[in-house]
């Protein structure tokens, strides 16, 4: 049942047609993710600030390499605030038990406050819990982690856990580099009788995929994915976290392991908990990196969209000469992905300088965040950005992009984010549609996102001047449409309008229509057929909801990108049954069926799902 505002289900009692709710959890396209670095967010329990080595914490919060006190209790205390920003999913940095001693690296004493130096993937770290017994999270059902999951699910929120499969902890001098299974030592890097690790030194040639996958990243002990013992351990641990109520995984350093491992991993996870949404961190991956595109299409998970982030930051923070042309160029390559609408989009994260450290321009930062909220993909907000949080020391690079959260106030930016998050929850167009450019120059961009009767129109102006832009074919109903962000209305006559854009502004207009709702609602998506101008795709099959093989009653589909089409079908008569279907090309009234044998699926008995198919020759 849907518990958030913006859901069109009558009194929130009907099966929710909005992506991600009910039994189908994989679809995050209607969601907004809020990324929390747990140690730097909120200190809910000061008694756990120091770990087993008292020197690992800096209570003055000046040493960026030490713990500062944030914990899971603090996340629970701030769920109201996170929801006030509009987010309904929370990505937590790894909560696994970390090494106990600060390590001296490059002359600096460092503690694993970030969560990426794990020694035990089956225990919680002592800095994050209320009491020592909470660490044995799989031996109890009353830990602070259980309380967090229960509190989030009661609010209709999802928990995204950051996981690491590539490595454990450092094996530099002074570090024991041991790995535990719920407190039981299973191996050590220097006594690796079971062959759990590669022992090939650090990466030297970053252009050599073999080195990137087999050698150590930053001195972190690199697991040998050929080890059956390791694979059993890591997959078993992650399945236990899912059993604890985790809804999705953000997966660290995916480019550092071979794709066959990820296919095995995602396949096993899918069998254990169907529809688990996963997205990986392929650093600097996206449309301009062919290897990351291949990973996205073949691994079983999505990725963080660095290409879109870099283009948006270049256009709005660095004021690049190409401006929005470069942003649109990324979107123009969406057809390379099997499903670009599932890419996780962002402006800031914990590995790159924050926008405001690159350019301390809150107005253009607002444009960047709000543009991400209405673009294709799943938007992810980095904690504190909505409060204009940043530290510019060291150019704002790691670790200075990880300051302590200092304010939880409602601000104009918080309200704007919440407005667009609610739009995302209710609008099929924002969730599912592609992006069609209607006006583009370096300084301004107007695009529409139509999907089965719903449309969103977005206009962005980065200049310091008013822009008047006349556009046609807006694909939104004639009439007056209010700007959700408070600017002038969009007056459309004959599909045309003149937009008056204020300096450094974004305007968002919607015409939202309900999708067909049945006992089961299925998003059907096909990738791999590049339609030409004037062509469109239809869906036809043996089920009555698919026309019963009568092409005159075939279901119209919606253009997403030049290789992807989609539609949403409400099933009633065919729920619980197997269906056979094909895609059909309409070439101006001349209908041609997909050449291959077609596709077979079983319709769920109830709820929502997405069928992603490849065009079959």
Over residues 222-280, the pLDDT tens digits come to 999 999 999 999 999 999 999 999 999 999 999 999 999 999 999 999 999 998 999 99
455 in Cβ contact with 476 (< 8 Å): yes
Residue 39: name the closest of 78, 6, 66 by CA. Answer: 66
- The arithmetic mean of pLDDT across residues 166-179, rounded, is 94
- The arithmetic mean of pLDDT across residues 169-191, rounded, is 95
418 in Cβ contact with 376 (< 8 Å): no
Give residue 542's pLDDT: 98
Give residue 19's pLDDT: 36
Give residue 174's pLDDT: 85
Over residues 491-538, the pLDDT tens digits come to 999 999 999 999 999 999 999 999 989 999 999 999 999 989 999 999
Over residues 98-127, the pLDDT tens digits come to 999 999 999 999 999 999 999 999 999 999
Over residues 268-323, the pLDDT tens digits come to 999 999 989 999 999 999 999 999 999 999 999 999 999 999 999 999 999 999 99
Give residue 481's pLDDT: 97
- Asked whether the predicted pLDDT for residue 402 surpasses 60, the reply is yes
Topology agreement, domain 436-511 and domain 520-614: yes
Give residue 25's pLDDT: 53
120 in Cβ contact with 185 (< 8 Å): no
- The arithmetic mean of pLDDT across residues 377-389, rounded, is 98
Over residues 441-468, the pLDDT tens digits come to 999 999 999 999 999 999 999 999 999 9
What CATH superfamily classification does 436-511 receive? Golgi alpha-mannosidase II (2.60.40.1180)
What is the 3 state secondary structure string of 293-346?
HHHHHHCCCEEECHHHHHHHHHHHCCCCCCCHHHHHHHHCCHHHCCCHHHCEEE
Residue 40: name the closest of 74, 12, 15 by CA. Answer: 74
Classify the phi-psi angles of 486: left when phi > 0, otherwise alpha if psi is within -120 to 50, otherwise beta: left
Residue with the bigger pLDDT between 13 and 295: it is 295
Domain 31-404 top-level CATH class: alpha beta
Reported as a pLDDT band with limits 50, 70 and 90, residue 40 is very high
Domain 520-614 top-level CATH class: mainly beta
Q: Return mean pLDDT, the chain.
A: 94
C-alpha of 458 from chain center: 21
Classify the phi-psi angles of 296: left when phi > 0, otherwise alpha if psi is within -120 to 50, otherwise beta: alpha
Q: What percent of the chain has pLDDT over 70?
A: 96
Helix then strand then coil, in percent of the chain rounded to 5, is: 25, 30, 45
- Asked whether the predicted pLDDT for residue 7 surpasses 90, the reply is no
> Cα 26–354–331 angle (5° rounding)?
50
For residue 81, how many other CB atoms are within 10 A of its CB?
Answer: 19
Over residues 62-85, the pLDDT tens digits come to 999 999 999 999 999 999 999 999
Over residues 182-219, the pLDDT tens digits come to 999 999 999 999 999 999 999 999 999 999 999 999 99
221 in Cβ contact with 119 (< 8 Å): no
Any idea where the domains of the chain sit in the sequence?
31-404, 436-511, 520-614
Q: Sign of the C-alpha dihedral, residues 39, 44, 46, 50?
A: negative
pTM of the model: 0.95
Residue 415 tokens read as 């309200």
Q: What is the DSSP string of 223-289?
A: B-TT-HHHHHHHHHHHHHHHHTT--EEEES-GGGS-HHHHHHHHHHHHHHSTT-EEEE--TT-STT-
- The arithmetic mean of pLDDT across residues 324-336, rounded, is 98
Give residue 26's pLDDT: 74
Reported as a pLDDT band with limits 50, 70 and 90, residue 173 is confident
């Amino acid at each position: 049942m849907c518990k958030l505002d913006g859901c069109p289900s009558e009194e929130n009692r009907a099966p929710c047609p909005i992506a991600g709710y009910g039994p189908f959890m994989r679809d995050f396209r209607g969601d907004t993710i809020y990324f929390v670095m747990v140690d730097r967010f909120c200190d809910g329990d000061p008694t756990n600030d120091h770990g087993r080595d008292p020197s690992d914490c800096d209570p003055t919060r000046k040493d960026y390499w030490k713990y500062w006190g944030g914990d899971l209790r603090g996340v629970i205390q701030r769920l109201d605030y996170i929801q006030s920003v509009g987010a309904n999913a929370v990505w937590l940095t790894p909560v696994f038990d970390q090494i106990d001693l600060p390590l001296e690296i490059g002359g600096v004493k460092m503690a694993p406050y970030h969560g990426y130096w794990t020694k035990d993937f089956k225990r919680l770290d002592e800095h994050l819990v209320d009491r020592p017994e909470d660490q044995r999270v799989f031996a109890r059902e009353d830990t602070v982690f259980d309380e967090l999951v229960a509190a989030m699910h009661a609010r209709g929120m999802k928990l995204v856990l950051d996981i690491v499969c590539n490595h454990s902890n450092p094996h530099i001098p002074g570090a024991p580099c041991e790995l535990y299974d719920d407190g039981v030592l299973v191996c050590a890097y220097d006594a690796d009788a079971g062959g759990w690790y590669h022992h090939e030194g650090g990466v030297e040639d970053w252009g050599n995929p073999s080195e990137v996958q087999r050698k150590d990243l930053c001195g972190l002990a690199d697991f040998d994915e050929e080890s059956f013992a390791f694979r059993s351990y890591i997959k078993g641990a992650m399945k236990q976290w899912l059993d604890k109520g985790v809804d999705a995984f953000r997966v660290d350093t995916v480019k550092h392991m071979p794709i066959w491992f990820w296919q095995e991993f995602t396949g096993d996870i899918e069998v254990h908990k169907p529809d688990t949404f996963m997205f990986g961190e392929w650093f600097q991956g996206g449309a301009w990196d062919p290897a990351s595109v291949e990973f996205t299409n073949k691994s079983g998970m999505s990725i963080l969209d660095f290409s879109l982030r870099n283009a948006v930051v270049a256009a709005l923070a660095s004021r690049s000469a190409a401006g929005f042309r470069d942003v649109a160029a990324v979107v123009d390559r969406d057809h390379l992905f099997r499903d670009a609408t599932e890419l996780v989009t962002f402006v800031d994260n914990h590995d790159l300088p924050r926008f405001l450290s690159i350019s301390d321009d809150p107005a253009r930062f607002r444009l960047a965040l709000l543009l991400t909220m209405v673009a294709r993909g799943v938007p992810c907000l980095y904690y504190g950005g909505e409060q204009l949080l940043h530290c510019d020391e060291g150019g704002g690079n790691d670790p200075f992009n990880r300051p302590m959260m200092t304010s939880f106030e409602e601000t104009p930016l918080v309200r704007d984010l919440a407005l667009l998050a609610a739009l995302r929850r209710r609008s099929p167009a924002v969730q599912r549609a592609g992006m069609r450019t209607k006006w583009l120059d370096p300084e301004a961009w107007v695009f529409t996102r139509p999907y089965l009767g719903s449309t969103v129109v977005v206009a962005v102006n980065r200049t310091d001047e008013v822009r008047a832009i006349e556009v046609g074919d807006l694909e939104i109903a004639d009439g007056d449409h209010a700007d959700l962000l408070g600017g002038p209305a969009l007056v459309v006559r004959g599909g045309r309008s003149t937009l008056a854009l204020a300096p450094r502004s974004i305007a968002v207009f919607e015409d939202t229509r309900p999708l067909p709702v049945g006992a089961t609602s299925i998003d059907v998506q096909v990738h791999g057929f590049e339609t030409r101008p004037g062509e469109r795709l239809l869906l036809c099959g043996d089920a009555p909801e698919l026309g019963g093989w009568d092409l005159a009653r075939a279901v119209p589909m919606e253009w997403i990108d030049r290789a992807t089409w989609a539609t949403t079908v409400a099933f009633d008569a065919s729920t619980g049954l197997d269906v056979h279907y094909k895609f059909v090309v309409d070439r101006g009234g001349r209908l041609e069926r997909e050449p291959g044998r077609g596709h077979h699926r079983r319709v769920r008995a109830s709820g929502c799902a997405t069928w992603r198919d490849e065009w079959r020759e």
